[in-house]
């Protein structure tokens, strides 16, 4: 009996696997056009100094966009037939406006002396948009409890001496500032004796960037309260005869005279950046779209040094070029995908996933028809956990929304690439939160099944040494093939994959 059941089970297993788990010789054929030599050729170009670190909205990013377009045109990929032609420029670009904000625009001035960002003061968000003359401060001590009095429109002075130092103090500080905000404070000056430590461990970027039009309707909530951290000796100078030490002696909240000017310099400039689109139209299921993304922007030139971003994300970018070519070659030979494939190198990722965010709010093709997004961000190196391991790839997010996506990826791997699929970073408890940190997330948050291919961080991550010489092209090649075969399955299988998992915010 037991043998008989086993026999039936094995027969069933073989039959069901046999139906699905077959090597597709066409897929194999076109995967063969993705070569190590071509990956190397494109990456050597894109990760050279000529491309100036591909900074979003700047010359280097424009040069990279033009290079990508050139490759798509060479491959015979026609201009994108966008339902709204005005959304596409020059046949291949989706432009979007960004606002670059210079950091350190707020400073304190008293008696012709300036207290500057990153020196005597620090803050994490510019809420103040215009200057302000301060006459008095409401001192609230270290605020272990919520304030009992209304602080409506008051400029508050809080003492953070007991909060410890460094980044650890910041969490507590933010909760306390939240209490002050709830009580109506318009501005919070924080006396921070250990400010120097905090400045030393804070990344003081020169600029940050946001979308000019996120596409999301502004919910009219109150802006956060501006919080400015000041070191204690500067605070004493601002206070004049009343010092922090004197203030601490009495426990009660009270008003102290303290006059200074808050200066806010204009520090915004508007720039345009681009996503680049290569659209390979499908056949009998062409209204359904499989999207492939990778960010081609990086972090530009800093202090005269070009950050080439060979791994981050030159590797994903050249994978895009090769996959687009492979699908187009298949199409021209009459073996094109049944569903449409949109290969989309995006920009603005390093500034906060801006390009993919813009696309997800202004999709060129409806998101309801978007089957999946396969995103590649850094697939050309090994991390320390896999220094000597067999070939591997981190797979993140594949099973969060759709069992079908997860299965397609595993099937592609078992048939074609046989990499170790490492799901470490897919754990919801992963403290790195990689699931939220690359462009697939903008599709996932809209309910589109998404997977993020990643080979992990290394010592050159966001360093000038992220260069092409350090790329393992054999690994880059195999990982690109995994994404390609997964895309091929998703684009050609009879049933569209479905969302069958809870969408969590
Ligand atoms: Zn990246």
Q: Compute the distance from residue 365 Cα to the ligand 1 centre, in Å.
A: 24
Gap between the Cα atoms of 343 and 483, Å rounded: 12
Q: Which residues contact 111 (CB under 8 A, 6 or more apart)?
A: none
Q: Compute the distance from residue 234 Cα to the ligand 1 centre, in Å.
A: 39
Mean pLDDT throughout 458-485?
97
- Residue 125's pLDDT is what? 84
Of the pLDDT bands very low, low, confident and very high (cuts 50, 70, 90), residue 41 is very high
Above 60 in pLDDT, residue 15? no
Domain pair 22-101+274-492 / 106-264, same fold: no
The CATH number of the domain covering residues in 106-264: 3.50.30
Per domain, the residue ranges of the chain are 22-101+274-492, 106-264
Considering the domain 22-101+274-492, what is its CATH architecture? 3-Layer(aba) Sandwich (3.40)
Which of the pair, 417 or 432, is modelled with greater confidence?
417
Q: Compute the distance from residue 80 Cα to the ligand 1 centre, in Å.
A: 26
Mean pLDDT throughout 453-476?
97
Q: Compute the distance from residue 138 Cα to the ligand 1 centre, in Å.
A: 44
Above 90 in pLDDT, residue 110? yes
Q: Compute the distance from residue 318 Cα to the ligand 1 centre, in Å.
A: 13
What backbone torsions phi and psi does residue 33 show, to the nearest 5 degrees?
-85, -10
Mean pLDDT throughout 179-187?
91
The distance between the two most distant Cα atoms of the chain, rounded to a whole number of Å, is 96
- Residue 19's pLDDT is what? 44
Q: How many CB atoms lie within 10 A of CB 487?
A: 27
Q: Compute the distance from residue 380 Cα to the ligand 1 centre, in Å.
A: 12
* DSSP letter for each residue of 276-310: E-EEE--STEEEEEEEEEEE--B--EETTEE---I
Above 80 in pLDDT, residue 374? yes
Q: Compute the distance from residue 296 Cα to the ligand 1 centre, in Å.
A: 8
Q: Which of 64, 189, 48, 84 shows the shortest CA–CA distance to 128?
A: 189
Of the pLDDT bands very low, low, confident and very high (cuts 50, 70, 90), residue 217 is low
Q: Compute the distance from residue 111 Cα to the ligand 1 centre, in Å.
A: 46
Q: pLDDT tens digit string along 286-345?
A: 999 999 999 999 999 998 999 999 999 999 999 999 999 999 999 999 999 999 999 999
Above 70 in pLDDT, residue 351? yes
Q: pLDDT tens digit string along 67-102?
A: 999 999 999 999 999 999 999 999 999 999 999 988
Q: Compute the distance from residue 352 Cα to the ligand 1 centre, in Å.
A: 10
Above 90 in pLDDT, residue 149? no
Which of the pair, 407 or 249, is modelled with greater confidence?
407
Strand pairing category for 285-295 and 132-139: unpaired
Which of the pair, 254 or 361, is modelled with greater confidence?
361
What backbone torsions phi and psi does residue 435 show, to the nearest 5 degrees?
-55, -30
Instruction: Calculate the average pLDDT of the chain.
Output: 92
- Residue 63's pLDDT is what? 98
115, 228 in Cβ contact below 8 A?
no
Of the pLDDT bands very low, low, confident and very high (cuts 50, 70, 90), residue 221 is low
């Amino acid at each position: 009996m037991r043998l008989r059941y086993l026999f039936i089970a094995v027969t069933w297993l073989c039959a069901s696997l046999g139906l699905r788990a077959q090597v597709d010789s066409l897929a194999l054929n076109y995967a063969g056009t993705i070569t190590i030599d071509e990956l190397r050729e494109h990456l050597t170009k894109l990760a050279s100094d000529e491309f100036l670190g591909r900074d979003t909205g700047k010359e280097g990013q424009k040069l990279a966009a033009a290079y990508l377009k050139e490759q798509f045109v060479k491959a015979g990929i026609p201009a994108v037939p966008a339902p709204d032609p005005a959304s596409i420029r020059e046949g291949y670009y989706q432009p979007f406006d960004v606002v670059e904000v210079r950091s350190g625009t707020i400073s304190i001035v008293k008696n012709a002396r300036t207290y500057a960002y990153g020196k005597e003061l620090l803050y994490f968000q510019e809420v103040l948009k215009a200057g302000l003359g301060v006459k008095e401060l409401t001192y609230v001590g270290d605020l272990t409890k919520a304030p009992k009095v209304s602080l409506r429109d008051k400029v508050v002075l809080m003492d953070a001496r007991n909060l410890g130092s460094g980044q650890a103090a910041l969490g507590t500080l933010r909760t306390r500032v939240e209490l002050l905000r709830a009580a109506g404070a318009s501005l919070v000056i924080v006396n921070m004796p250990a400010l120097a430590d905090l400045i030393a461990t804070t990344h003081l970027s020169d600029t940050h960037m946001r979308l000019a039009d996120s596409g999301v309707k502004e919910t009219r909530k109150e802006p956060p309260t501006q919080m400015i951290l000041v070191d204690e000796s500067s605070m004493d100078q601002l206070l004049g005869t009343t010092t922090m030490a004197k203030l601490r002696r009495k426990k009660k909240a009270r008003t102290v005279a303290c006059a200074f000017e808050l200066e806010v310099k204009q520090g915004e400039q508007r720039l345009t950046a681009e996503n680049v689109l290569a659209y390979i139209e499908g056949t009998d299921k062409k209204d359904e779209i499989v999207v492939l993304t990778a960010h081609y922007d990086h972090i530009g030139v800093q202090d005269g040094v070009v950050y080439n971003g060979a791994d981050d994300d030159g590797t994903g970018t050249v994978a895009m070029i090769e996959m687009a070519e492979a699908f187009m070659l298949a199409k021209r030979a009459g073996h094109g995908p049944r569903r449409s494939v949109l290969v989309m190198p995006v920009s603005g990722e390093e500034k906060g996933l801006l390009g993919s965010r813009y696309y997800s709010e202004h999709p060129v093709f409806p998101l309801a028809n978007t089957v999946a997004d396969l995103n590649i961000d850094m697939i050309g190196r090994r991390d320390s956990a896999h220094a000597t391991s067999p070939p591997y790839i981190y797979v993140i997010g594949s099973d969060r929304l759709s069992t079908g996506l997860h299965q397609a990826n595993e099937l592609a791997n078992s048939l074609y690439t046989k990499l170790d699929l490492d799901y470490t970073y897919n754990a919801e408890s992963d403290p790195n939160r990689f699931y939220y940190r690359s462009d697939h997330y903008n599709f996932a948050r809209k309910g589109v099944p998404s997977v993020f291919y990643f080979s992990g961080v290394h010592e050159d991550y966001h360093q000038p040494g992220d260069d092409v010489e350090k790329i393992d092209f054999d690994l880059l090649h195999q990982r690109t093939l995994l994404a390609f075969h997964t895309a091929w399955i998703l684009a050609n299988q009879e049933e569209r994959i479905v969302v069958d998992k809870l969408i969590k915010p």
